[in-house]
Structure 1
Amino acid sequence: MGIVLNQSAKNTVLTYLGFGIGAINVLFLYTKFLSPEYFGLITYILSTANILMPLMAFGVHNTIIKFYSSFRSKQSQNSFLILMLFLPFAIIIPAGILGCLFFSSISEWLSGDNPIVKDYVWHIYIAAVSFAYFEVFYAWSRVQMQSVFGNFMKEVFHRILTTLLLVFLYLDWLTVDQLIWGIVGIYILRMIVMKLYAYSLRFPSFKLSKIPNVRAILKYSALIIIAGSVANVILEIDKFMINYYVPIENVAFYGVAIYIATVIGVPSRSLHQITSPLTAKLLNEKDRDGLKLLYQKSSINLFIITGFIFLIIVLNINQLYMMLESGYADGLVVVFVIGLAKLMEGIIGNNNAILFNSDYYRMVLILGVFLAILTVILNALFIPLFGINGAAFATLLAMFFYSASKVGFVYKKFRMSPFTSNTVKVFILILVCMGAFYFWDFSFHPIVNIGLKSLLIALGYGIIVYTLNLSEDINQIINKLLNR
């Protein structure tokens, strides 16, 4: 776990730096400088682009991770990477042509009850292509066991530039329309920089040779498009469907709540960047013992860390919403509900990496399609009844069934579970902290209250985790810090 902990720690720091900058943007700058309607529009554009991203990428970013380590010679690796580089055009070009031919019908459908969306449909397409090729080049660097720079680009780079654009908007140097174009331009620039970095690690050579198992590679890519799309649908379809049933400013209220809750899932994202290629390597080498150890360690480490962040956010959420503009507090329940969904993502460890990189990846497709349909149905039922809270409950239920199904399938096929006795102890610890800290606050300014309460939670939670030795890896990190 040495390289995992090293790069995961760096990725976590970078990701939280990015989320800190993003928090300033989402919680304060967007809400102060933009009307909820336009903030909701930007959220809708980016969410819809994220839904389309796996399709535009043709599943290539997952295919690179799964198959790259199976090639032994540099020539075969190079030919494989060249194929991955051009494969997304099989979707991107036809999608662009269809967009031109049927633009009016597509824009009407995407707009729903909010005609403001019609003028920004091409923004969605361009952003989706930029997201797709960024993930391709990020996977290109990750299989070289270099994930830190890519994580900086994924989490920090675009948020810093977005901050600048929002300041320019405040100074009247930009119009709202120019701001939206500028945000899309940032993602194009991010893709180009990631490409240059990926090529610096391994520059593609167009001296091609026959690729072994090319049929299996193409089959995997085609199927993983749907599996990847399903995962993004479960994560993003709520914002997309809110646009259909309620005014678009509710997308902004929901987006702020989702952003706050998403912080809980940052460690899972950071760990996944490096555990995914390692999991693929262990599977290709048929090292079941190593795979089980990685599965359980990733689960308990993530559960402890995400559980701590869940407590910090949920136990301070009332104070945080006191600092936001009126109207945004409607998302308070959403934070708690989506926070539980993110906690479930953490507890299953590198389960996704095991399924995506094994011969059972088709099951992800079957489970995912079923749950994507379930998510759409639940949102269609709950949003008209409960508004944005209904969207949150729909997401939580879908994520619960999805996570439980994947854990059960891995146990059936690999005879391994992510859970240990320490999992139960961490669960009890989280419940005790909730009961001990939720019902009181200091009587100071909200920022001071959040700081003091978070410090007390951190001390209590950290001491118990360390004393009970709930994670060897976390205790080793603490010991190193104490020795220094």
Structure 2
Amino acid sequence: MGIAIGVVSTLFIYPKDTEFLGIIRYIDGAAQLLYPVLVFGAAQTMIHFYPIVSNSNKHLLFKYGLFTILIMGLLVSSLLISGYFLLDYENYMYLLLALPLTVMLALVELFKRQATNLQKLAVPTFYEKIIPKVALPLVFLLFLSHYLSLFGSIWVYIFSYIFLMVLMGIYVFKNMQFTFDFNFKPLFAEVSKKSYYQYSLYVFAGSFGSFFAFRVDSLMIPEFLSFDSAGIYNIGVTLASSIAIPATGLFALYAPVVSNYIKTNDITALGMKYRETSKLLFFIGAVFFGSVVVGVESLFELMPSKEKLVQAIPIIYVLGANVLVNMATGFNTEIINYSNYFKFNLQAILTLVFVNVGLNLFFLTQTELGILGVAYASLIAMTIFNIAKTYFIYTKFQILPFDNSFFKLFLLLTVLVLVIYFLPNTSNLWLNVCAKTISFGLLAVILTYQFKLVFSVNEWVDKLLRKFNIGR
């Protein structure tokens, strides 16, 4: 559903005003930069220590996260508001508007992690992935119809996140016992403050660095090019990131499972789950990305805003490959984060901060590639990051996310995409889109099933066949 909403909005709504889209994404980017400061690692720290604290102290981990967000929120708000009177910066008002969004993102992150610990993730994930995707196109339509001003539209977008936070909070509190006792002495009698803050600090630095390593483009493009260019780039980002929606859910779901495998030193089971999940995620991502590759050019030619959309096609290809690389390497971040080697993630991310920011500056100032150069910078950074993490996990745990069937799957789907992409087109654009995307999707599932390359795919297809009393 998230993919469908994102695709429809990107094709029919966002191209109508790419400058407004660029402004919204600039505010969102600023909030994404600031919210790790408010959380200060408390959300992931909660999962890290959850398996080893007593039942009576598990709820205190969550409460301490709320306490952290409150204190850091007051500090960041004071600094930002003071900066408004001290700094002369053209876009500073947008940074102030990012402040309430930052608080909501921090609370949503904490609620999501607590829902993960409670194994009640489906509903919060649904809220998180659907509400913003519904809210933004609605805000767009109200703005384009002149029912809302620019700032009125921004505030409605912010209120959608307040609504999201309230729904997630209600759901989490409904599924846990919560009291207003904020005595944290029992928690820190069981977990040393030094260990807690050390892990929180590393997680915070990693999260903060991740923005500069992978999402700094949302702030750099408006500064070096324009909000309009940022909007066109975001069209590519939206379509490419839609491919990753299944991965987001699986990564969140497996976080406590990975943590438990590591705490119990069950590396054999961890390796099996690592390979199984990597193949599944690569298959899902490759099917979505392959469908985009074989059909997007004809589809965009049919759209009323095709001039804006066509500009985004190279961005979609590069960023789609970027997402696929991340999915193919599985939950390597989670393995490192919940092990004793969590410091490596910080070292890798801080290195990539310089790599990605440097590449962005190079492409934006030394080449004529514009937003395509920014996409290349993101792909290079993500590939280096995932290769480094995969190699590190192998040296420490002797496990890899790949096996022989993974490479067979990669070869099969690559050949299939190339064959269908280069098939002759007809003069009917709708026929091209439907024939190529449906053919690719069906052949990908059938061939993967026949060669038994992904266990989950065979399991799902067999269940479907049994339901209709077909074949096996």
1:417 aligns with 2:400: yes
Cα deviation digits, residues 66-104 of structure 1 (max 9, x gap)? 21122232x111222211221123322111111121125
Cα deviation digits, residues 110-158 of structure 1 (max 9, x gap)? xxxxx4x343221112211111111101111111011111111111122
Residue 52 of structure 1 corresponds to: 34
1:175 aligns with 2:159: no
For residues 177 and 444 of structure 1, do their structure 2 counterparts lie closer, same or farther at Cα, with a shift above 3 Å needed? farther
CA positional deviation for 1:25: 2.5
Residue 456 of structure 1 corresponds to: 439
* 2:153 partner letter: L
Contact 2:101 2:158 in 1 (8 A): yes
* Other structure's SS at 1:156 match: helix
CA positional deviation for 1:52: 2.1
Contact 2:21 2:231 in 1 (8 A): yes
Which of the numbers 68, 77, 81 marks the counterpart of 1:87? 68
Once the two structures are overlaid, the 10-residue window that deviates more, 162-171 or 86-95, is 162-171
Residue 476 of structure 1 corresponds to: 459
Contact 1:382 1:390 in 2 (8 A): yes
Distance 2:462 2:40 in 1: 45
Which of the numbers 384, 409, 417 marks the counterpart of 1:434? 417
* 2:186 partner letter: K
Cα deviation digits, residues 147-202 of structure 1 (max 9, x gap)? 11111111112222334333333443322321111001111221121111111111
For residues 72 and 39 of structure 1, do their structure 2 counterparts lie closer, same or farther at Cα, with a shift above 3 Å needed? same
Tell me which stretches of 4 or more aligned residues in structure 1 moved more than 6 Å.
none
Cα deviation digits, residues 305-327 of structure 1 (max 9, x gap)? 11111211112121233223423
Distance 2:299 2:28 in 1: 25
Cα deviation digits, residues 273-293 of structure 1 (max 9, x gap)? 211111111112221111111
* Other structure's SS at 2:216 match: helix
Distance 2:220 2:144 in 1: 30
Distance 2:95 2:159 in 1: 15
Once the two structures are overlaid, the 10-residue window that deviates more, 140-149 or 431-440, is 431-440
Distance 2:130 2:462 in 1: 29
TM-score by length of 2: 0.93
1:340 aligns with 2:321: yes
Cα deviation digits, residues 325-368 of structure 1 (max 9, x gap)? 42332222111111111111111111111011111111100110
Residue 156 of structure 1 corresponds to: 130
Distance 2:175 2:127 in 1: 16
Distance 1:448 1:203 in 2: 56
CA positional deviation for 1:439: 2.1
Alignment of 1:302-451 (within 5 A): 302-322=281-301, 323=303, 324-384=305-365, 385=367, 386-440=369-423, 442-443=425-426, 445-451=428-434
Contact 2:258 2:338 in 1 (8 A): yes
Cα deviation digits, residues 20-40 of structure 1 (max 9, x gap)? 2122223322323xx322221
Which of the numbers 247, 251, 269 marks the counterpart of 2:248? 269
* 1:345 partner letter: N
* Other structure's SS at 2:307 match: coil
What residue ranges of structure 2 are gaps of 5+ in the alignment?
Answer: 468-472
Residue 29 of structure 1 corresponds to: 13
For residues 399 and 483 of structure 1, do their structure 2 counterparts lie closer, same or farther at Cα, with a shift above 3 Å needed? same
CA positional deviation for 1:445: 5.0
> What root-mean-square deviation, in Å, do the aligned CA atoms of Structure 1 and Structure 2 show?
1.8
Residue 18 of structure 1 corresponds to: 2
Which of the numbers 189, 210, 227 marks the counterpart of 2:186? 210
Distance 2:432 2:71 in 1: 54
Residue 224 of structure 1 corresponds to: 203
Contact 1:19 1:156 in 2 (8 A): no
For residues 334 and 104 of structure 1, do their structure 2 counterparts lie closer, same or farther at Cα, with a shift above 3 Å needed? farther
* 1:213 partner letter: V
For residues 382 and 184 of structure 1, do their structure 2 counterparts lie closer, same or farther at Cα, with a shift above 3 Å needed? same
Alignment of 1:276-287 (within 5 A): 276-287=255-266
* Other structure's SS at 1:315 match: helix
Cα deviation digits, residues 344-398 of structure 1 (max 9, x gap)? 1111111111011111111100110000111000000012311001100100110
Which of the numbers 35, 43, 46 marks the counterpart of 1:61? 43
Contact 2:2 2:245 in 1 (8 A): no
Once the two structures are overlaid, the 10-residue window that deviates more, 392-401 or 197-206, is 197-206
Once the two structures are overlaid, the 10-residue window that deviates more, 457-466 or 391-400, is 457-466
* Other structure's SS at 2:340 match: coil
Contact 1:107 1:121 in 2 (8 A): no
* 1:253 partner letter: I
Alignment of 1:116-127 (within 5 A): 117-127=91-101
Distance 2:323 2:46 in 1: 26
CA positional deviation for 1:105: 5.3
TM-score by length of 1: 0.90
* 1:483 partner letter: R
Amino-acid identity (%): 23
Residue 137 of structure 1 corresponds to: 111
* 2:15 partner letter: T
